[in-house]
Amino acid sequence: MRIDCKHVWQHISAYIDGEIDASQRVEIDRHLETCEICSAVLDSTRNVVVLIADNRVFELPAGFSDRLHARLDKEIELTET
């Protein structure tokens, strides 16, 4: 039985993470060969996942680490007295 687009969409995340079993992967791959919509949905989802993982998207506030370690130093001093 041929799988439909909805079935592919349900497994996209697991497919990207390589967490589906081999037989399902084969079915999905076969579907992707002929379905340009699912191919575009998969490619765009993967692209989004790659982009959000880039360190430039989420940066710590400037000086965050310095302030944190300065506060920590005070706390360490307190435990030593």
Binding of residue 80 to another protein (CB under 8 A):
yes
CA pair distance 2, 4, nearest whole angstrom: 6
Q: Confirm or reject binding of residue 72 to another protein (CB under 8 A).
A: yes
Among residues 33 and 65, whose Cβ is nearest to another protein?
65
CA distance 58 to 51: 11
Residue 62 engages another protein in binding (rule: CB under 8 A): no
- Rule CB under 8 A: choose which of 1, 2, 18, 19 binds another protein: 19
Identify whether the C-beta of residue 31 lies closer than 8 Å to the C-beta of residue 3: yes
Could you say whether residue 58 binds another protein (CB under 8 A)?
yes
